[in-house]
Every structure is written in structure tokens, then in C-alpha cells.
A and B are shown apart, each in its own frame.
Chain A
Amino acid sequence: MLRIHCPVCGWRDETEFTYGADATVRRPDVNNVDPKVWLDYVFMRDNPRGPHKEYWHHVTGCRQWVVVERDTLTHEISGSYLAREVVG
């Protein structure tokens, strides 16, 4: 079990969260009509061995989506911040 730092609630058990998705992927503009762009957004993912940014939803806590920087090899978590605070 992981312990995840929620920027709102502090250190909490993994069981309070649900895993979201790759947090490096940006949703295309609403009005984009290029199927290729949407296929990439929905289906294409890197599978990095090492540091990774991913969404975790603090679903039984504050209900914030949190971006967690986790090493997929060691499970070490190096940082976390709210999805709404991501720059760019």
C-alpha cells in the first residue's frame, strides 16, 4: 500500500484514492476536430520505467484530483500537487 500526500488532507492511505490516468497528457481543445489528435489523447500512452506523473483522485477525502510524481520502478513518490495547479 502506498501513502500518498494530498495537498489538502496530508498523508493518506492509497485506499482513499482511485488511480486516474497519465497526468502528462493534456486534453485537446474542445473544438479540435482532428481524429488523430483525439486518438492520441485517448489511447496513446507512454509506459515509462522510472519517474512518472499520474492522477490520483482523493475520492473518499477532499475529492481533489492530485498529480503524483511516482517512480514506476521503486514506487517512490517524489512530489504531489493539485491538478488545478498544474502550469500549462
Chain B
Amino acid sequence: MTARRLSYGGRIDRYRTITVEFDGRSFAAHPGDSLASALLAGGQTIFARSFKYHRPRGLMAAGVEEPNALVHLRDGARHEPNAQATMVEVFDGLKATPQNAWPSLRFDIGAVNGMLSRFFGAGFYYKTFIGPFKGTGFWMFCEKFIRSAAGMGQATTLGDPDHYEKINAFCDVLVVGAGPAGIAAALAAGRKGENVILVEQDHSVGGALLSAVPGGVSDVWLKKAESELRDISNVRILTRTTAFGAYDTEVFGLVERSQDHVKAPEVGKPRQRYWLVRSKRAILATGAIERPLVFAGNDVPGVMLASAVRKYLNRYAVLPGDRVLVATNNDSAYVAAIDLAKAGAKVMLCDLRQKGPKSLFARARAAGIDLKLGHGIVKAEGGKNVRGARLIAVDAKGKASGKEISVSCDLIATSGGWAPALHLWSQRFGKPEYHSNLDAFLPPAERGAFTCVGSLVGATSAAESAMQGHTAGGSVGKLDPLPEEDDFWGRGLLPTTVITRANGTTPGKAFVDFQHDVKLADIDQAHMEGYVSVEHLKRYTTLGMAADQGKTSNLNALTRMASLRGVDVPNVGATTFRPPYTPVTIGAIVGNDHGLHFQPTRLSTIHDWHMENGAETIEAGAWLRPWYYPAKGETLRDSYIREAAHVREHVGIVDVSTLGKIAVQGPDAAEFLNRVYTNGFKTLPVGRLRYGVMLREDGFVLDDGATARLGENDYFMSTTTANAAKVLAGAELLLQAAWRDLKVHVTTVTDQWAAIAIAGPKSRAVLADLTGADLSKEALPNNHFTNVVVDAVPCRLHRMSYSGELAYEIYIPAKSGLKVWEALIKAGVPYKLKPYGTEAMGALRIEKGHVAGSEIEGRTTMKDLGLEGFASSKKAFIGSVLRRRPLLEDPDRPSLVGLEIVGDVGAKAGSLLFAMNVPKKGHGEGWVSSATYSPALKKNIALALLSRGPQRFGETIEVVDFVGNQTLQARVVLHHFFDPEGHRQNG
């Protein structure tokens, strides 16, 4: 292969020369080049080493289908693996390096894998687990070696320095592909006034027209069409943009590589944009991908697709070889052959067909092409470069016979027909239909809101494509004619793509999937081992499962499978495609949704005070809450023990604004609450509040909390922080779907109210000082509320206790939360009031034996949690029937107990419980749900669920943490460790 840049032609900017680097070598390039064309022009033949066998590989294609030329791009934090050299636009200073080759591209030690290919064949991974090397031991031995030898590029571990953007867009028509069909479609639809988005993965519009000889009629057509398109304000053209996914209801995912064609993104510009487009209809003009022929040595550098050779020649002005052997089974390669001959190459064209269009043969001969009909290539000769080929006579059915003929050449250009790029269509609709005249799967022209046009549906010329696009776009305006004689995609096709000797073998490795190194022999082997379905074949051989998703290999594998089974191609099945069409950078998918932008952080209106006063915070769902307020040098443990003890001795306040709050209003509110809570709510008087338990429909506990009756038809429900959204959504479903006769509104008011709990023996005194209200036991007993005013802020004061202390909750209009908090801090000074965090709150509730999220975890019943007393027997409520299922009433079910841990080390939540002196195996008889050090009891305690728990008070059991490898002993006690009679909270 002796590629060189021609001194004329091409669609490159010859006035500017820039430098790119590959494998440590500098190459001159021109704007308009791809990395592949620049390297090819500079004489590079080997671009990569293959996946499994480390065979030298050159360019096969010139576009998105390129399976071989994957390179590392850039370096440092912008290092990017698996970039297709054919899709990388050059820029000055571009740096690329080879991947999957060591020590070098020309000499790769991994090529010994080729000699071991017997072991790397179909089903290698599966076979390694079962004979001859039974078991996983051999796999473990081999894995390290194989993983380092077989692979694609390496990703960087450095943080991505670039940023990415997401755009939501809407349009009437999304046109994918800006070749002749897509351009004509966008023009017609745009003229009609439709809102059009035209997407093109290339940096220029034109598609296949860009591969034509420059300066022809199609260039004039393209220039005129593009300038009109750019003048229509309702048409948006997105170049460097790939439509990678087609989703339900005409939603499309696009990725725009807005700054990948420069060395580093301009300041303030995103590297890529992720577009989510909702369209009313879609016109797919995604074109077709040329199929390679399969023969021995078809992966030797210098064997390329005919359309790619033509593109390098006409678009990039690179003549990839001087002595070219073109091999084809259809008309389209003739155009490439003629262009090559006109550019000065010596061309031999071997056509698998005996017969063909005489005019085309005449044109070829007139161009000086040596035409060999009824012949195919049975083997490409050469190692690191094509040196020649062996041809064999082929009959009308594609069967080889006779003697092989040797020819000399430095480039082989093949065409096995065209495979429509139906990926987007298939993502949306599944299996396409097989058309034997083109030996290809085609989508229908119309389905749902999709119209497919151009070579995607078998158009065999640019002119036909443009006509189809014009019609799909709405036939508005005049379509300028394109020359008819330029392209012959798939015309006159003989459905033979695999060339073997008469006995069916290939004289050397013949590749079907180049990116995953799957050979013809692997497919034959899979067939012999009984694989009949293409989906199984794929997984067994890994064919089509590389980054290119089999763009050049699926059809060839299918036809081979079909011929081995003696059935038609459709009987083998078609592979379906899933997004993305081409790989999408994770950064584009993530966009700005990372770090603190991943989800909103919910903060209480008092949050700033917590931060200014040294609180450490903890996440609770989306909320950030004060966890503890460390004094100088204190650990978490020191802090929470001090804070909890302080509450029991003096008084503390904690920000509980995160509690879910729901306004339940309407004439039937009492009836509604009576149905959703297990305990009675119909009798709750105005001015009172009541603790309630809710179940799920299946009878398990859902949530608990207090509800206050503010007025005749006005209730204020509180839920746990974690379940607020679930409770509200459930209530809405019940009211909207099941209980439509109830006149009730439920409205979230979580963000409207700040809430502070004040707990401890001095809490009454602090609040009385602050509000001037009579808060005596008689005036405000437990479970009552009253309206108070703090610093001119009207608030509601609930008397209720979570800690077991004399305690209150004050509900404040959210905007005044901080003001009231600060007023409490000030009023509390004489009483030594201190703030406390969620950790101390947890310690206090464990001491008191209150259940929380660790106990109400979806698997526990009221009986399990000792809440049976809250279940009314006089009324129906959600879950009232199913909670009585026999297995849920099994007396052996783990139920709530307290544990007093023996010794100075605390238990870990999640530890398993075992009776003494039994083997510590299996899941034990229960588990620890919450654990803390109790400052009140001066010992480590825990809440646990233990089989037959309440019957085992006094028993010593073992607490085993298998993860931390720790075994403790504990005494089973009542879970109300502290003040079980409730003297303090009711005092």
C-alpha cells in the first residue's frame, strides 16, 4: 500500500497545513481531513492491533462503521480511548496514540495469541469453565493474562476537565442524516413552514455527495440546497451531531460534539451537548453501510471498502494505492474503480457476477480497467500490507471452482452490497424485513410517525434518494435534479459475500467481525456445536457485540449461518439494535447532574444557624440535617452522648422541619383519617393531637406520626421525614381513585412550616418565658396543642414527646423559623438550653423504645413492633384484613425487644441474634435494628427484633456481626428502657 496525497482535488483546505501526531510521528494535515485521511496520506498503514489476536490492522472504512482504526486521543485528563480515526476531525496539535499494542504497532508481542487461536475460538469464555480445564481455577490463572492481552483502549482515571450541557428541544420534523435524501426532506418540510431539525454526524452536510468527484453537478446541487436551508428560519441544522437513540413517542437522544474538533473547548463552551428532542414525526435518511466481502486475509492492511477508497480519493485527495484490485458483487464499486483509474491507478476489477450492465462494463473498460467477470478473491496475500491476491472462478450461485490465479496489487477495495443503517428504526420498532434483491434488511418506508428514505430503504442513487426525501418532506417547492449516473448502491447484486475454496474452506483466517476478531471458522464452529439462532450465535462468538455493534459484520454472519443451515436469511433471524448507535461519552449523559447538582439539597430555614454554630450535617433523603454540634475536640460519640444527657438533665432543641406535613381538609377529613390510621380518629376533638400508625394495603406498617385537629374540617398530619412523599401520593390515589365520595383535600405543607422540638425538664419553663402562655399540666396536657405568639410570629405549640422527656413541638411559618429558633436560644440561656442533632435524637428515642425507620422498614407488622394496641378492632382501616394473615400472626416472628449489651463495646445495627451455645450459622433468630450508647442507663443498648422476643426477657443471647467479625453478649429486656411508665413526658 503506497498511499499518497494528490496535488489536486479533495474537499480539504490546502492553503493551511497543520500538524497531527500519531504513535510519536508527525503528519502534515489540512483542515477538512479526518485523522484517518491525514495518517493515510502520510503513509501510515497499520492503525491498530486487533482485539484478540493482535493482528496488524489498517483502515477498512472512512466513516462511522470503521471497526479497526480505534486510537487513544489526546492525553492527560482529556485522554479518550476507542476514538475512531475515521471520525476524528483534525486540528493543529492533535495527538493520538495506538491502543492494544505492546511494545509497538509494528511489533506486537501479543500477536502470539494468533498462534493460540485454537483456544480463543467461539465460546472460549464458556469452555474455560467446563473441561478440559474443569473449574474456575484455570480461569483465574488465565484471566489476568487474557484481560491484559484482549481489550480495547484504556480510560483515564483523571477527572474530566470539561463540562457538558443538556438541551431539551421540540420540533415538528426531525430529519436524521443530511445526505441527498435528508437535505431534500428538510427543504420540503422547511418550505412548508414546519419546525425542522436536521441532524448530521459529519461536520459538513452532503453525505454520500461528499464522496463524489469535486466540482461536479452534485456539488452545485449541494451548495444551492444548503444555502436555501440555512436561510429558512424554521430549519435548524445540527452538524457534528449523532442521533444515537430513538425512543417511544418520537423522543430522540442526540449528542452534539460541539468542541471535539478543537484542541480544548473554548472557555465557557461545553465540550458536548446532549439533546433530548421531542418531535411530531421523524424522517430517517441514515443511509447504508457497505458490506465487506469475506475471504482469507481480508483483514490485511490495505483491504478496504470500495466506498471508503472512493471517499479517501475524492473527499480527501488521498490515493490509497497505485495497483488496485477492486472486488464486488454489485454495480456500486465500478464508480470507485473508474475514479481510481482516472486518478492514475492501475485497476483490476473482479466481479463475482458473470453478467452485468454492458454500459457500465464499457465505461470501466474505457477507463482502462482490467475487468475480470465471474471471479472472486479467495485470499489476500501479505502480512503488514497487501502484496497481492489469489482469485478464483465463481459460478452464478457463488460457488468457486477451478484454479486459483495470483495477481499483484497494493490495495484491495471490496463491495459486498449495502446494509441499510436502520439502527434507529430498529431501536424503535424491532425486526425489519429481509429483501432478497438487495440481500439486506430494510425498514418499511412508513411506520407510525416514521418515514424512511434514501439508501436506508434501498434507493440505489442520489437522485432517487433526493426524490424520496422531497416527497417525505411534503413535496413543497421544486426539487433540483441530481445526475442519475453516479451511484449504483447495491444495483444488480449477486448475494454472495463469502468466498471459499470449492471445498468450503478458506486458505487462512477470514474475518467477519473485525472489531471482536470473530472469524468465519468461529461461525462454522458455532453451527457445528448446534447454535441455530442468531441471538445465541452473537453471545457465543461475541460477534456484533463490540463497540461498533456489528455495523459491518451482522449481515455477513447471518448469511453464513443461513447457508450453513440451508435456510433463507430471514429464518436465521435479524439482530435488533439498542441505543446508542455510536458510543456516547458518559460526560454527555451526565451533563451537569453530578456532585451537588445531582439532586436539589433540601435545607430547613434554620440551616444557616446550624452551620454558623459548628454543626456537622448528615443527609436524610434530599435533606441535609444537623447531625451533632461538636464542642472543641469532640468526636461524634462524645457529642451525642453529651447532647442526649443534657436534654434529660436540662433542656435541648432540635430542628425537625424535615418532618412531612400534610394538610387534610374537608367535611370528610375525619372519616378519611379514620380509614388510613389503624387507631380511631373520629373522636379526636379540636385542639388535640393523636399519635397514629398507618399500614400498607398488605398489612405491614407504613409510617407513624401525629395528627392535630386544627378545626372542624381541618387537620394537620405529620409523617416521618422519609415517608412524606409516599404517604401523600398514597392518600391522593385513595381520594382520586377509590374514595371519590369523600370530600377531602390533601396538600403538602412540609415546606410551609418550620418545626422545632423542645425537650427536657426545663422545656416548659423556657416556653412559658418565651410565649407568656399558661403551659401548666392542666392548661396544656400531653397530646394537646395551643396557639402562641413568639416575637410577633404566630406559632402552634404541640405538646408531645419523642424523647420521653417533657417535650413540645413548635410549628412556625417557614420564613420565621430562624427567628423563633434564635428566640428560643435566647430565652433558654437561664435554663442552659442547648441545640442537639439527629444522633442525640436517635439515642433518646432508642432509650425510650420508640420505633423509627430502622424498625418500620417494610417487613414488620404492628404486632412485631409492639404497636398492636394502636389497632382498632371496631373499624376497618387500610391493611386491617391482610395484617391478620396467618403467617403474619405466627408467634415465632421476630418482635421488638430491647437489648442491654454486656461489656463496653456497643452492638452494630444489622448484627444477627443467636441463642447461647448454638452454632453461629444461618440467619439466626433475629437482628439488631438500632443501637446506641445510653447516657441515661450508662450502658450500650439496642433495639432488636427477636423471635418470640417478649417471652425471652432476662435471657442472655449472642449478638453476632459477621461483617465486622464481632460477637457480643446481651440481655433481652423490654424495649422501653427509660421511664417506661411515662412519668416524665406526662409530668
Q: Which residues of A contact B (CB under 8 A)?
A: 1-3, 13, 18, 20, 23, 26-27, 30-35, 38-39, 41-43, 55, 57, 59, 63-65, 75-77, 82-84, 86
Contact = CB atoms under 8 A, between A and B. Distances in A.
A43 B732 CA distance: 21
Interface stretch (B302-310, B613-621, B735-743): B735-743
B770 interface: no
Given A33-B881, A35-B881, A1 B737 contact: no
6 shortest interchain CB distances as A-B pairs? A27-B738, A3-B249, A75-B248, A83-B737, A84-B736, A83-B736
Contacts of B732: 57, 63-65
Contact of A55 (B248, B733, B739): B733
Contact of A84 (B698, B740, B881, B884): B740
Nearest to B886: A35
B264 interface: no
B876 A30 contact: yes
13 contacts: A2-B248, A2-B251, A23-B737, A26-B738, A27-B737, A30-B675, A31-B876, A33-B876, A38-B697, A42-B882, A57-B729, A65-B732, A65-B733
B278 interface: yes
Contacts of B248: 1-3, 75
B736 A3 contact: no
Contact of A2 (B249, B276, B729): B249
A6 to B, nearest CB: 13
Given A55-B737, A82-B736, 14 more contacts: A1-B248, A1-B251, A2-B248, A2-B251, A18-B729, A27-B737, A34-B881, A35-B884, A38-B697, A42-B882, A57-B729, A65-B736, A83-B733, A84-B736
Contacts of A41: 697
Interface of B: 247-251, 276, 278, 448, 675, 697-698, 729, 732-734, 736-740, 876, 881-882, 884-885
B876 A1 contact: no
B448 to A, nearest CB: 8
A54 B443 CA distance: 31
Contacts of A34: 881
B697 A3 contact: no
A39 B886 CA distance: 13
B882 A35 contact: yes
A10 B248 CA distance: 17
Contacts of A59: 729
A64 B876 contact: no
Given A3-B278, A32-B881, A38-B881, A65 B249 contact: no
A41 to B, nearest CB: 7
Contacts of B697: 38, 41-42
For A18, A31, A83, A86, the residue with the greatest tally of chain B CB atoms inside 10 Å of its CB is A83
A40 to B, nearest CB: 11
Nearest to A77: B249
A60 to B, nearest CB: 11
A20 B729 CA distance: 10
A52 to B, nearest CB: 14
Given A27-B738, A33-B876, A38-B881, A75 B733 contact: no
Contact of A75 (B249, B881, B882): B249
A64 B882 CA distance: 28
A39 B276 CA distance: 42
A83 B736 CA distance: 6
Nearest to B729: A57
A19 to B, nearest CB: 11
A31 B250 CA distance: 46
B738 A64 contact: no
Contacts of A75: 248-249
A41 B675 CA distance: 17
Contacts of B278: 3, 13
Contacts of B250: 3
Contact of A39 (B249, B448, B882): B882
B736 A64 contact: yes
Contacts of B675: 30
A72 B885 CA distance: 33
A1 B733 CA distance: 24
Nearest to B697: A42
B737 A57 contact: no
Nearest to A20: B733
Contacts of A30: 675, 739, 876
A32 to B, nearest CB: 7
A38 B249 CA distance: 36
Nearest to B249: A3
A84 B448 CA distance: 31
B752 to A, nearest CB: 16
B882 A3 contact: no
B71 to A, nearest CB: 34
A84 B882 CA distance: 26
Contacts of A35: 881-882, 884-885
Contacts of B740: 84
Contacts of A32: 876, 881
B472 to A, nearest CB: 22
A42 B698 contact: yes
A80 to B, nearest CB: 12
B739 to A, nearest CB: 8
A57 B736 CA distance: 11
Contacts of B698: 42-43
Contacts of A23: 737
A20 to B, nearest CB: 7
B737 A86 contact: yes
For B247, B249, B251, B739, the residue with the greatest tally of chain A CB atoms inside 10 Å of its CB is B249
A31 to B, nearest CB: 5
Contacts of A18: 729
Contact of B737 (A3, A38, A76, A84): A84
A77 to B, nearest CB: 7
A57 B885 CA distance: 30
A23 B675 CA distance: 21
Nearest to B728: A63
Contacts of A33: 876, 881
For B733, B737, B738, the residue with the greatest tally of chain A CB atoms inside 10 Å of its CB is B737
A58 to B, nearest CB: 10
A86 B278 CA distance: 29
A34 B734 CA distance: 20
A3 B247 CA distance: 10
Contacts of A82: 736
Contacts of A42: 697-698, 882
Contacts of B276: 1
A36 B876 CA distance: 16
Contacts of B249: 1-3, 75, 77
A63 to B, nearest CB: 6
